[in-house]
Each structure stands twice: as C-alpha cells, then as structure tokens.
Amino acid sequence: MNGKAAEGLGKTLDYESAREKVYGRPYSQWKELHQTKATSGTG
C-alpha cells in the first residue's frame, strides 16, 4: 500500500515503516543479514 492508499484508509505509512512491513524487520537489520558486499569489476 502506498502512502496515498494508506491515507485513504485513515492511516499513515512513512517510507521506513513500509520497509519494515516488507522485510519483517528494520531495513538496516535486513541489509546486514542479506546484502552482500560489492565486488570489484570483472576482468
């Protein structure tokens, strides 16, 4: 649900709250567990 849809239902939803709903935890925690470090280019 986007911010406008949430407003239509009388609710507020900021970006960070939406991320927490999607990932099931604060995005910073999800990122630490699941995002790998970037590697140098090919070649």
How high is the pLDDT of residue 8?
A: 80
pLDDT (tens digit, 9 = 90+) per residue, 1-43? 556 777 788 878 888 888 899 999 999 999 999 888 888 776 5
How high is the pLDDT of residue 3?
A: 64
Domain range annotation of the chain: 3-34
Tell me 24's DSSP state: S
How high is the pLDDT of residue 43?
A: 58
How high is the pLDDT of residue 6?
A: 75
How high is the pLDDT of residue 36?
A: 83
C-alpha 37/C-alpha 43 separation (Å) is 18
In sequence order, the 6+-apart residues with CB closer than 8 A to the CB of 12 are 3, 6
